[in-house]
Chains A and B, each alone.
Chain A
Amino acid sequence: MSEYLVNIEHERLSFFTPAGEVKALNDVSIRIREGEVLGIVGESGSGKSVTAYSLMGLTAYPGKLLGGTLDFNGHRINDMTEKQMQKIRGNEVSIIFQDPMTSLNPVFTIGNQIREVLKLHTDKSKSEIQDRARELLQLVGINEPDRRLKQYPHELSGGMRQRVMIAIALACEPKLLIADEPTTALDVTIQAQILELMMELKDKLGMAIMMITHDLGVVASMCDHIAVMYAGNIVEYGETDDIFYNPKHEYTKGLLRSIPRMDSKEHERLVPIEGTPVDLLNPPKGCPFASRCDQCMRICLREKAPVTHFGETHYSTCWMNQKAELEGGKRQ
């Protein structure tokens, strides 16, 4: 077994739509150690969710893995059959989706939906399963578990439903929990509660978390490492502090400028990132962020930037790094 729980290397994935090939992932590499929290940040369509789903073998219909290797917990996901994947899903790796309103089946009780996953992956007896379901609801902070188990999803609030989703995800004590924008559809106060709950459970159960979000605020407090994605590429990767205090890609810098900071001075304005995301049907041949970048140089339009490492884990793909090195080299 390798030292990493998750090791995705050079993954390329496209959706073959009637309009043409949509290159959703271009050379994505991600590593997560056991018990570690990785945040994947990026705007809509940058490939965050696609990466996570492909790790679970849940790539939606016209999508196709074109290259790279995906390893998880000693399994080579690329080579696994659907049947083998079914044994892992919900058991070794679980996922929480963005919208708790639609992610639970409206026609079954909460209890039914929690018990289902236990029945599938454990050989506990009926009463043990019922006890475990009750225990899970208590674990995620739901009172009166016996009454809740008999209720239907529509009788619960959004925050409550997301807690149920977490309970389902944690039922078999997975090694990895994928959280796909778990708080986006919730009220701000509930968001904080859910995140706190997730961190608490992580410490209790020792699982790794892949936290997908477009909210830098969320990742700052929770994550050990952060991957910044743009247009199907990882443009910067590093420890949380590296990303926040020493960003090396213009997109990361832009993201940081666009959120309010506790230490910002009065009247300091937030700077939005202008422009629109690239069209993945015809991705540009240079840097995907070039058209929106303030520092855009001629080379950026022509060629993709090479990876520059700044330490053990921190790396980024931006021509500005090359420029800095070039200038540094001259000075030497």
Chain B
Amino acid sequence: MKDNPNPLSFQSRLNPDDFFPASSEEKESLVIMRESVGFWRDGMRRFRKNKIAMVSLVIVILIMIFSFIVPIFYPYTYEQQVKGSNNLAPMTYSEEEQARIDAGESVFPHILGTDKLGRDYAIRVMMGSRISLIVGLVAAFIILVIGSVFGSVAAFFGGWVDLIMMRLVDIIYTVPDVLLIVLLSFALKAPLETLSMQPGFGWIRTLGPNLISIFIVFALLYWVGMARMVRGQILALKESEYVTAARALGASSARIIRKHLLTNCIGTLIVMTTLQIPSSIFTESFLSFLGLGVAVPMPSLGSLASEALNGINTYPYLLFIPAGLISLIILSFNLLGDGLRDAFDPKMKN
């Protein structure tokens, strides 16, 4: 043994004490357990690390502040026509206002100028974003509710119920959406106006019948994508082995729905809804462009852009501001949705 050149050289450094069994406490100190994190915390951690998504979130919040809070303190209102201040360039004053400034009065500047009716453009843009955001959020909510209920019912019952429900989805997919929107907004105008005369329905007039038609159209048409998604997801989950396993262990249907199907769907639902917001804003701006959007004098970003189109050669900034803002809102929501998907979609974990 002594001729063996290898490990005995260690002997000098080692003392017999080292070869006593280690106690279980000593062993435990060795096991560094990584903190086990749940689905939500893990997702949030990843989400917070995503710089693009965080920047988008900040932009969305800023735009919300500008469209919901700033207008309260703003010295002009969106329908107020300032006399003699038609078509002012940004940060300029009309003669009348200049005279008041010269007289020592302070006049709040038209940061973005005014439109051809002498309305302050900055406040109109803010109100326009407010309308666009409301449309986006409400429509996304409507689509979420109808789409997920329809899709999950079809998936749960399966068989011919599923078949008929999905045929219906196919048909709605095939009807040209512009046709339905135009017809509906014509059809709904009169009844909604009558309804708004009734006590308790005054809010309809505030919102404008067109805006309500838009919501109804969303409720009728645009949920089909969501319904297909949810159905597909639930069908896949229903077949998954862990649901079979839960069933085999005697879990009740209610528990399976609550514990397995919902928790597995909810991430996708959140992401789908976030991505639905920009697409609803998109559709609203498109409708406003066609002249089917919100009622005048209420502005939306789409109607502002479409009004500006006529004077594009002289006042191009009137188009570029709302157009840029629509793009920015849609972009931020899209990037936010992508960030959420990357953070919460289990398939995206790597």
Determine if B239 is an interface residue (Cβ-Cβ < 8 Å).
Answer: no
* Contact assessment for A281 and B34 in the assembled complex, using a CB-CB cutoff below 8 Å: yes
Residues of B within 8 Å of A241, CB to CB, are none
Determine if A284 is an interface residue (Cβ-Cβ < 8 Å).
Answer: yes
Return the CB mask of B1-25 against A: 1 if under 8 Å, else 0.
Answer: 1100011101100101111111000
Q: How many Å lie between the Cα of A309 and that of B8 in the bound state?
A: 12
Residues of B within 8 Å of A300, CB to CB, are 22
15 A-B pairs whose Cβ atoms sit less than 8 Å apart in the complex: A18-B49, A282-B34, A290-B27, A291-B27, A291-B30, A297-B20, A298-B18, A301-B26, A307-B6, A308-B6, A319-B19, A322-B10, A325-B1, A326-B16, A326-B19
Residues of B within 8 Å of A306, CB to CB, are 6-7, 10
Determine if B183 is an interface residue (Cβ-Cβ < 8 Å).
Answer: no
Instruction: Using CB atoms, name the residue of chain A closest to B13.
Output: A303
Residues of A within 8 Å of B8, CB to CB, are 325, 329
Residues of A within 8 Å of B7, CB to CB, are 306-308, 321-322, 325
Residues of B within 8 Å of A326, CB to CB, are 11, 14, 16, 19
* Contact assessment for A298 and B6 in the assembled complex, using a CB-CB cutoff below 8 Å: no
Residues of B within 8 Å of A328, CB to CB, are 1
Q: How many Å lie between the Cα of A332 and that of B3 in the bound state?
A: 13
Instruction: Using CB atoms, name the residue of chain B closest to A306.
Output: B7
* Contact assessment for B14 and A299 in the assembled complex, using a CB-CB cutoff below 8 Å: yes
Instruction: Using CB atoms, name the residue of chain A closest to B33.
Output: A279
Q: How many Å lie between the Cα of A290 and that of B28 in the bound state?
A: 10
Determine if A246 is an interface residue (Cβ-Cβ < 8 Å).
Answer: no
- Candidates A18, A290, A297, A308; contact of B19 at CB < 8 Å: A297
Assuming the contacts A279-B34, A290-B27, A328-B1, asked whether A322 and B14 have C-beta atoms less than 8 A apart, the reply is: yes
Q: How many Å lie between the Cα of A328 and that of B2 in the bound state?
A: 11
Instruction: Using CB atoms, name the residue of chain B closest to A279.
Output: B34
What is the size, in residues, of chain A's interface with B at 8 Å between Cβ atoms? 30
- Nearest-Cβ distance from residue B237 to partner chain A, whole angstroms: 21
Determine if B245 is an interface residue (Cβ-Cβ < 8 Å).
Answer: no
- Nearest-Cβ distance from residue A4 to partner chain B, whole angstroms: 22
Q: How many Å lie between the Cα of A322 and that of B7 in the bound state?
A: 7
Residues of B within 8 Å of A275, CB to CB, are 31
Instruction: Using CB atoms, name the residue of chain B closest to A332.
Output: B1
Determine if B32 is an interface residue (Cβ-Cβ < 8 Å).
Answer: yes
Q: How many Å lie between the Cα of A286 and that of B29 in the bound state?
A: 12
Within 8 A of B (CB), among A38-89: none
* Contact assessment for B27 and A297 in the assembled complex, using a CB-CB cutoff below 8 Å: no
Within 8 A of B (CB), among A283-332: 284, 286, 290-291, 295-302, 306-309, 319, 321-323, 325-326, 328-329, 332
Q: How many Å lie between the Cα of A325 and that of B17 in the bound state?
A: 15
* Contact assessment for A329 and B19 in the assembled complex, using a CB-CB cutoff below 8 Å: no
* Contact assessment for A299 and B6 in the assembled complex, using a CB-CB cutoff below 8 Å: no
* Contact assessment for B6 and A309 in the assembled complex, using a CB-CB cutoff below 8 Å: yes
Residues of A within 8 Å of B29, CB to CB, are 301
- Residue among B2, B21, B30 with the most chain A CB within 10 A? B30
Residues of A within 8 Å of B27, CB to CB, are 290-291, 296, 301
Residues of B within 8 Å of A296, CB to CB, are 21-22, 27
- Nearest-Cβ distance from residue B5 to partner chain A, whole angstroms: 10
With A279-B32, A296-B22, A299-B14 given, can you name 18 additional A-B contacts, CB distance below 8 Å? A282-B34, A290-B27, A290-B30, A291-B28, A297-B21, A298-B17, A299-B18, A299-B19, A301-B22, A301-B29, A307-B7, A322-B10, A325-B1, A326-B14, A328-B1, A329-B2, A329-B11, A332-B1
Residues of A within 8 Å of B49, CB to CB, are 18
Instruction: Using CB atoms, name the residue of chain A closest to B17.
Output: A298
- Candidates B26, B31, B33, B34; contact of A298 at CB < 8 Å: B26
Instruction: Using CB atoms, name the residue of chain A closest to B49.
Output: A18
Q: How many Å lie between the Cα of A98 and that of B30 in the bound state?
A: 33
Q: How many Å lie between the Cα of A307 and that of B6 in the bound state?
A: 8
* Contact assessment for B6 and A329 in the assembled complex, using a CB-CB cutoff below 8 Å: no
Return the CB mask of B65-102 against A: 1 if under 8 Å, else 0.
Answer: 00000000000000000000000000000000000000
Residues of A within 8 Å of B16, CB to CB, are 326
- Nearest-Cβ distance from residue B3 to partner chain A, whole angstroms: 12
- Nearest-Cβ distance from residue A117 to partner chain B, whole angstroms: 29
Q: How many Å lie between the Cα of A332 and that of B20 in the bound state?
A: 21
Residues of B within 8 Å of A297, CB to CB, are 18-22
- Nearest-Cβ distance from residue B53 to partner chain A, whole angstroms: 15
- Candidates B11, B18, B31; contact of A291 at CB < 8 Å: B31
Residues of B within 8 Å of A308, CB to CB, are 6-7
Q: How many Å lie between the Cα of A9 and that of B124 in the bound state?
A: 72
Return the CB mask of A198-241 against B: 1 if under 8 Å, else 0.
Answer: 00000000000000000000000000000000000000000000
- Nearest-Cβ distance from residue A278 to partner chain B, whole angstroms: 8
- Nearest-Cβ distance from residue B46 to partner chain A, whole angstroms: 9
Instruction: Using CB atoms, name the residue of chain B closest to A296.
Output: B22
Instruction: Using CB atoms, name the residue of chain B closest to A290.
Output: B30
Instruction: Using CB atoms, name the residue of chain B closest to A300.
Output: B22
Residues of A within 8 Å of B33, CB to CB, are 279
What 7 A-B pairs come out closest when comparing CB atoms?
Answer: A299-B18, A323-B19, A296-B22, A291-B31, A291-B30, A306-B7, A298-B22
- Nearest-Cβ distance from residue A300 to partner chain B, whole angstroms: 7
Q: How many Å lie between the Cα of A290 and that of B14 in the bound state?
A: 18
- Nearest-Cβ distance from residue A22 to partner chain B, whole angstroms: 12
Residues of B within 8 Å of A329, CB to CB, are 1-2, 8, 11
Instruction: Using CB atoms, name the residue of chain A closest to B18.
Output: A299
Residues of A within 8 Å of B21, CB to CB, are 295-298
Residues of A within 8 Å of B19, CB to CB, are 297-299, 319, 322-323, 326
- Residue among B16, B20, B32 with the most chain A CB within 10 A? B32
Assuming the contacts A297-B20, A299-B18, A322-B14, asked whether A284 and B1 have C-beta atoms less than 8 A apart, the reply is: no
Q: How many Å lie between the Cα of A332 and that of B7 in the bound state?
A: 16
- Nearest-Cβ distance from residue B236 to partner chain A, whole angstroms: 17
Residues of A within 8 Å of B18, CB to CB, are 297-299, 302
Residues of B within 8 Å of A302, CB to CB, are 18
